[in-house]
Amino acid sequence: MGRTRGIAGTDADLPRRNPLQKMVEPFEGPIDLTLPEPVTLADFAASASEIGGRRIERVVVDDEKWVADADTVTVH
C-alpha cells in the first residue's frame, strides 16, 4: 500500500500528471524560427571541429574531381 497522504487516502488515489507537460498557455499564431544570419556548412565544420577535438574543414570541389575521388575510395 502507498504512503498515506493526510486523511484522504494514499498517493495512488491522487491524479497523475505527466512531468514533461509544461504549465504554459497554448499559443496561436505565427512563430518566427529564422536566425539573423544563415548557418553555413563552414559553421557546421567549425562546430564539428570543436566537438570532435580535431580540425574539420569544408572543402569545395568541382563535380569531376568529386566523382574521380569517389571512384578511388574503398568503403569497408
What confidence score (pLDDT) does residue 31 get? 86
pLDDT at 5 over 70: no
In a domain, 45, yes or no: yes
For the question of whether the overall pTM of this predicted structure is more than 0.85, the answer is: no
Q: How many domains does the chain have?
A: 1
In a domain, 21, yes or no: no
In a domain, 55, yes or no: yes
In a domain, 19, yes or no: no
In a domain, 63, yes or no: yes
Query: Taking the alpha carbons of 61, 62, 67, 72 in that order, is the dihedral positive or negative?
Result: negative
Q: What mean pLDDT, rounded, does the chain reach?
A: 80
What confidence score (pLDDT) does residue 53 get? 95
Q: How many Å apart are CA 20 and CA 68, to the nearest integer?
A: 51
| Strands annotated E in 1-76 | 4-5, 9-10
Q: What is the pLDDT of residues 33-72, one digit of tens each?
A: 888 999 999 999 999 999 999 999 999 999 999 898 888 8
User: Residue 70 belongs to what domain range?
Assistant: 33-76
Do the bridges between strand 9-10 and strand 4-5 make them parallel or antiparallel, or are there none, so unpaired? antiparallel
Query: Taking the alpha carbons of 11, 15, 16, 17 in that order, is the dihedral positive or negative?
Result: negative
In a domain, 20, yes or no: no
